């Protein structure tokens, strides 16, 4: 049964409320832990039981951080790293060009700097070199260095790793194949021979664990390593930006990392936050939507290593210049993305948006934005999406998946079957290179593989609601309590509440596409709401011209600090007419 009997909202979605099991669990938490019902619904959804709320609301990293040695090859890799440090060997860091790769590289550079050592940073060009190690780069780096550390890449790079005329170690999280590259060690929770218990870690978290192990080995020898807790801002940024699930230790890493970031001690992140006009304490939202895209902009359409260099910088003036350049590149990226997204959506609609896989391919589409456009298609359809830029006889593409569908494994299977030139990734995101004459066959086969995993079975119109609230219950205190159950992101969606039968007392268009309203239930308390992009669809016109009719409203609560006062604001996502009775 639909929530509040909303089978088709103004945006055409069916509202789905909590299951009976979640309701029972929430009621048990209210009784046992004496917490607000709205908070208990969120805790129940996260699987928290009676007596477990205190530990969940204040997660301690020391309780949740896994033993680094639980990962294969960890002791060997950390020992080789320390040997290079002690003997002043020449170290090169080969990093991926995204936020996770840049953060991973910056972690190593920061640690080495504090030990009085330096390293050469190498980030491949997305267009000229593509993802991961390549033979010419590894040969050139190997000729000049004693150790190459591959971060956020390398697990599938058998040939390039073998071509390096020096020692190589790999710190990665992308899905591995049945065999691993011949090197000193591969630390990767997604190796085929791993347990999978830490499969949710991003590459920066893997690098962090290696540094924990390195510090431990130094302590065993009577030495002391750098302060790792001060580096958690980089781990938090990478975890959120790489859409790693915010569960278990990831949740603790991000919470602690946000506290570190709030101290504004890292010049690169401070400069970037200022360029992004962040004027509140950092939250997961800022990492995913303000900072992450700017760090990524260099690798997408500009200088590949710019994001990593910014994150690693310890010079405020230099950091400011790089942050401003990344901000400019991000603006350019948005313009390019908008063109590709419009064309891709038209193409995807022609194929049908209800298939297990939504995909589009176009001539000359910029490789740096196809991943973002795939994300937009995924969000619009609730289906895995692939977007490919064609150039000559082949195309390079990126894919994004939905919860419960392992895209990386399916892409890897396609490559093994010969339908792709190459491909790999992880559950939620993947990259591929495909020959033009195999494009249609590859996408048909991928759709078939994803359908077997259940892709396409979820309705694109379902909006999940966590419960009903009265306007009087929407207080700053409640928002603070809900934030304590965060941070929210992948595998931990932010709470969404409905307000039933509300009267709109004020409605005003803001800019070209946004809408601001005030609403109440006739009991005195008024709530402000903002709906971004309301006039891109039916929400804006319908609510602005409400004619006094009541509406059910759904969205996420947040604090608006405008004017120095803390007021609750609803970020409105959907609405449906309510009966006057």
| 443 and 469 co-located in one domain | no
pLDDT of residue 435: 97
Residue 11 domain flag: no
| 132 and 193 co-located in one domain | yes
The CATH code of the domain that includes 526 is 2.40.50.460
| 178 and 290 co-located in one domain | yes
First CA to last CA across the chain, in angstroms? 20
- Which two structure tokens, joined as six digits, stand for 279? 């004027």
Residue 520 domain flag: yes
DSSP state of 124: -
Beta-ladder partners of 121: 93
Q: Mark which of 452, 478, 494 sits at the end of a domain.
A: 452
CA distance 532 to 513: 7
Q: Which of 76, 109, 68 is nearest to 231 (CA)?
A: 109
CA distance 271 to 269: 5
What's the average model confidence in pLDDT over 236-251?
95
Q: pLDDT at residue 130 above 80?
A: yes
| 250 and 113 co-located in one domain | yes
| 154 and 257 co-located in one domain | yes
**24-69 pLDDT per residue, tens:** 999 999 999 999 999 999 999 999 999 999 999 999 999 999 999 9
Q: Which of 223, 260, 255, 215 is nearest to 63 (CA)?
A: 255
| 270 and 136 co-located in one domain | yes
Q: How many domains does the chain have?
A: 3
Q: Cβ of 331: how many Cβ atoms within 10 Å?
A: 11
| 381 and 517 co-located in one domain | no
Q: What's the predicted TM-score (pTM) here?
A: 0.90
Sign of the CA dihedral running 359, 364, 365, 368: positive
Close Cβ partners of 564 (under 8 Å, ≥ 6 residues apart):
none
| 436 and 477 co-located in one domain | no
**277-323 pLDDT per residue, tens:** 998 889 999 999 999 999 999 988 888 999 999 999 999 999 999 99
Helix (H) or strand (E) holding 508: strand 497-510
| 286 and 373 co-located in one domain | no
Confidence of residue 474 (pLDDT cuts 50, 70, 90): very high
**310-366 pLDDT per residue, tens:** 999 999 999 999 999 999 999 999 999 999 999 999 999 999 888 999 999 999 999
**484-535 pLDDT per residue, tens:** 999 999 889 999 999 999 999 999 999 999 999 999 988 878 999 999 999 9
Q: Mark which of 425, 452, 479 sits at the end of a domain.
A: 452
292 and 103 in contact (C-beta within 8 Å)?
A: no
| 190 and 273 co-located in one domain | yes
355 and 383 in contact (C-beta within 8 Å)?
A: yes
DSSP state of 489: B
Residue 299 domain flag: yes
Residue 5 domain flag: no
Residue 281 domain flag: yes
pLDDT of residue 234: 98
Residue 458 domain flag: no
Helix axes of 248-262 and 232-241: crossing angle, nearest 10 degrees: 120
Length of the chain: 581
| 201 and 323 co-located in one domain | yes
Q: Mark which of 419, 452, 485 sits at the end of a domain.
A: 452
Q: What angle do CA 102, 105, 108 make, to 5 degrees?
A: 150
Domain that holds residue 389: 352-452
Residue 14 domain flag: no
For residue 336, cis peptide bond before it (omega within 30 degrees of 0):
no
The CATH code of the domain that includes 136 is 3.90.1640.30
CA distance 478 to 480: 5
- Which two structure tokens, joined as six digits, stand for 435? 């020959």
Burial of 7 (C-beta count, 10 Å sphere; 0-12/13-18/19+): middle
Instruction: Please indicate whether residue 454 or residue 495 has the higher confidence score (pLDDT).
Output: 495
Residue 332 domain flag: no
Burial of 527 (C-beta count, 10 Å sphere; 0-12/13-18/19+): buried
Q: Which of 399, 343, 388, 344 is nearest to 366 (CA)?
A: 388
Task: Report DSSP letters for 169-205, one per residue.
Answer: EEE--SPP-SS--SSSEEE-TTSTTS-STTTT--HHH
The CATH code of the domain that includes 381 is 3.10.310.30
| 406 and 537 co-located in one domain | no
């Amino acid at each position: 049964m639909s929530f509040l009997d909303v089978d088709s909202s103004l945006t055409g979605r069916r509202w789905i409320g909590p299951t009976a099991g979640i309701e029972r669990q929430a009621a048990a938490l209210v009784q046992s832990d004496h917490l607000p019902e709205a908070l208990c619904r969120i805790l129940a959804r996260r699987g928290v039981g009676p007596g477990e709320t205190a530990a969940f609301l204040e997660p301690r990293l020391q309780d949740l951080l896994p033993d680094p040695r639980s990962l294969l090859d960890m002791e060997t890799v950390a020992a080789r790293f320390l040997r290079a440090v002690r003997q002043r060997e020449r170290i090169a860091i080969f990093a991926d060009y995204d936020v996770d790769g840049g953060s991973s590289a910056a972690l190593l550079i920061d640690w080495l700097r504090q030990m009085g050592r330096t390293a050469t940073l190498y980030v491949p060009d997305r267009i000229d070199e593509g993802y991961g190690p390549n033979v010419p780069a590894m040969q050139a780096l190997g000729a000049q260095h004693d150790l190459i550390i591959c971060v956020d890449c390398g697990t599938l790079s058998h040939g390039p790793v073998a071509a390096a005329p020096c020692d190589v170690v790999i710190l990665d999280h992308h899905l591995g194949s049945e065999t691993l590259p011949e090197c000193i060690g591969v630390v990767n929770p997604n190796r085929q021979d791993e347990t999978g218990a830490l499969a949710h870690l991003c590459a920066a978290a893997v690098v962090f664990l290696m540094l924990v192990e390195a510090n431990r080995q130094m302590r065993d020898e009577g030495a002391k390593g750098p302060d790792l807790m001060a580096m958690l801002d980089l781990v938090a940024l990478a975890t959120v930006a790489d859409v790693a699930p915010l569960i278990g230790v990831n949740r603790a890493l991000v919470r602690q990392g946000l506290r570190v970031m709030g101290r504004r001690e890292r010049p690169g992140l401070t400069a970037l936050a200022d360029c992004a006009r962040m004027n509140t304490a950092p939250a997961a939202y800022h990492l995913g939507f303000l900072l992450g895209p700017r760090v990524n902009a260099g690798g997408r359409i500009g200088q590949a290593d710019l994001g990593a260099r910014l994150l690693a910088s310890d010079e405020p003036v230099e950091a400011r210049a790089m942050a401003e350049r990344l901000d400019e590149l991000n603006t350019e990226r948005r313009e390019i993305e908008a063109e590709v997204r419009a064309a891709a959506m038209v193409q995807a609609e022609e194929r049908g948006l209800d298939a297990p896989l939504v995909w589009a391919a176009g001539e000359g589409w910029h490789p740096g934005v196809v991943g973002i456009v795939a994300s937009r298609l995924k969000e619009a359809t609730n289906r895995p999406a692939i977007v490919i830029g064609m150039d000559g006889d082949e195309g390079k593409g990126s894919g994004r998946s939905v919860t419960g569908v392992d895209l990386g494994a399916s892409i890897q299977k396609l490559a093994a079957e010969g339908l792709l030139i190459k491909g790999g990734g992880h559950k939620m995101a993947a990259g591929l290179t495909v020959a033009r004459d195999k494009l249609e066959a590859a996408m048909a086969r991928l759709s078939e593989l994803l359908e077997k995993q259940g892709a396409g079975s979820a309705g694109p119109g379902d909006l999940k609601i966590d419960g009903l609230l009265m306007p009087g219950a929407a207080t700053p205190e409640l928002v603070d309590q809900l934030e304590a159950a965060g941070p929210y992101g992948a595998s931990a969606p932010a709470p969404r509440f409905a307000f039933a039968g509300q009267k709109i007392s004020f409605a005003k268009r803001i800019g070209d596409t946004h809408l601001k309203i005030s609403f109440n239930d006739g009991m005195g308390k008024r709530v402000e709401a903002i709906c971004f992009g309301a006039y891109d669809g039916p929400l804006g016109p319908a609510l602005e011209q409400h004619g006094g009719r009541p509406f059910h409203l759904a969205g996420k609560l947040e604090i608006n600090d405008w004017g120095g006062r803390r007021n609750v604001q609803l970020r409105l996502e959907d609405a449906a007419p309510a009966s006057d009775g």
